[in-house]
Amino acid sequence: MFYEIIMLMIHPFRFIFVLIMFIVFVTGCGEEEPVYDVPLEFQTYVDRFIIEAAKYGQDIDFSDTGLSIQFRDAVDQESGGVCLGNHQIEIEKFFWDDLSEFDKEGLIFHELGHCELSRPHRNDKLPNGEWASRMRGSPIPDGDNAVINYAGSRLEYYRQEFFTNTNTAIPAWASRSASINYAFDRVEVDLIENQETFDEAYLGLSQGDFEIDIVMNSGTSEGFVGVQFMGSSNDDRIRVGYTREGLFAIDSGNLVWGLMFLREDFNLLQSGDNRLTIRREGEFYNIFVNDVFVYWFDYLTPFREAVSSLNTGTLGTPEYKSVSIQSLN
């Protein structure tokens, strides 16, 4: 009888106890708060992503999704970064350390394009053969490469296309060209003939239009050969050159814009002598190979006013038949 009395006494409280435990259980098993884990090394570019998104009417702060951007340990030659889903991004450190400021932004934006904007890769091209979107990516068509000049006059277009994901109007720069026209009034500044190397100061790099005209061949060099100018180290120079296997590149250091243009088996290159012409015309550099216009990019005030030979090979040397530096009027 005593047992029955005790049970009757505690029965009303047993329901309350069970209810409390249920509430605690449900609360404890609810959704976790989104985790935001972005090191300072990446935060600059995330902040820029948020600011640029706002310009196109997108309010993003990652408070509802969280965000994680981390370096990964394994070396992956296939990509510089990857969106793993759930707003988790991994970046290849060896790749990151060699990027320009513009390319770092481009890489973070690209992965956020997947994770936050749900954008797939877009691999169509503009009329001049450059990628139509910063979201270009794997699989890259055979014989092509992922190089994109995400800087200077091109930057605004790529940002707009990225955030609007619409048929953004083709930019005027995608149809820009130039002629090798030699009808300029010229003043010969320097002429070098039959040399394996050269390093010439030229103060005119910041004072008006000029032309660097080189006739050369790769000689016995097994490396990348050509001309470099504007800087004092690999980090701030602009380089134009090629290999005897037919690879042609327009490159700059990570303090400038990075790699801008790359072609394999470039059909404008000849097996013997080749003519490389770098011409500043106003706000642009125009690049010609064997008198054919190849590419343009924005003028940038030089870090150092000098022009020098380029040879990345450890064996052999190129042959510079003539190097002419001329002021254009």
What are 84-130's pLDDT values in tens digits?
999 999 999 989 999 999 999 999 999 999 999 999 999 999 999 99
In a domain, 181, yes or no: no
Residues 92 and 46 in one domain: yes
In a domain, 10, yes or no: no
Tell which residue, 267, 285, 291, has the closest CA to residue 215. 291
Domain encompassing residue 293: 186-328
- Categorize the per-residue pLDDT at 205 as very low, low, confident or very high, splitting at 50, 70 and 90: confident
CA–CA dist 293, 308 (Å, integer): 22
Domain boundary among 127, 145, 174: 174
Q: Do 214 and 194 form a contact (C-beta atoms < 8 A)? A: no
Residues 77 and 98 in one domain: yes
Residues 152 and 274 in one domain: no
CA–CA dist 327, 329 (Å, integer): 7
Residues 160 and 238 in one domain: no
3-state secondary structure of 63: coil
CATH of the domain at 107: 3.40.390
Q: Do 152 and 181 form a contact (C-beta atoms < 8 A)? A: no
Q: Assess whether the previous peptide bond of 12 is cis (omega < 30° from 0).
A: no
In a domain, 26, yes or no: no
E strand intervals along 103-218: 186-195, 199-201, 210-217
Residues 248 and 154 in one domain: no
Phi, psi at 113, each rounded to 5°: -60, -40
pLDDT reading at 27 higher than 70 = no
Residues 201 and 151 in one domain: no
Residues 194 and 170 in one domain: no
pLDDT (tens digit per residue) in 213-269? 999 999 999 999 999 999 989 999 999 999 999 999 999 999 999 999 999 999 999
Domain boundary among 125, 151, 174: 174
Q: 11-16: which pairs have CB atoms within 8 A and are 24 or more residues apart? A: none
Tell which residue, 246, 256, 18, has the closest CA to residue 149. 256
Domain boundary among 174, 207, 236: 174
- Categorize the per-residue pLDDT at 31 as very low, low, confident or very high, splitting at 50, 70 and 90: low
- Which residues are registered as beta bridge partners of 288? 277, 293
- On the CB side of 86, CA atoms within 13 Å amount to 4
Residues 102 and 64 in one domain: yes
In a domain, 238, yes or no: yes
Residues 47 and 128 in one domain: yes
CATH of the domain at 238: 2.60.120.560
Residues 170 and 213 in one domain: no
Give the list of residues 6+ apart from residue 217 with CB closer than 8 angstroms, or none.
Answer: 272, 273, 274, 318, 319, 321
pLDDT value of residue 109: 98
In a domain, 219, yes or no: yes
pLDDT reading at 12 higher than 70 = no
> Based on the structure, what is the number of domains in the chain?
2
Residues 196 and 323 in one domain: yes
The order of strands in the sheet holding 186-195 is: 186-195, 319-328, 210-217, 274-281, 284-289, 292-298
pTM of the entire structure?
0.86
In a domain, 323, yes or no: yes
Residues 192 and 167 in one domain: no
CA–CA dist 288, 275 (Å, integer): 8
- Categorize the per-residue pLDDT at 24 as very low, low, confident or very high, splitting at 50, 70 and 90: very low
In a domain, 221, yes or no: yes
CA–CA dist 202, 42 (Å, integer): 38
Burial class (CB in 10 A: 0-12, 13-18, 19+), 326: buried
pLDDT reading at 7 higher than 50 = no
In a domain, 292, yes or no: yes
The order of strands in the sheet holding 67-72 is: 36-37, 67-72, 88-92, 81-85
Tell which residue, 277, 274, 275, 283, has the closest CA to residue 326. 277
3-state secondary structure of 10: helix
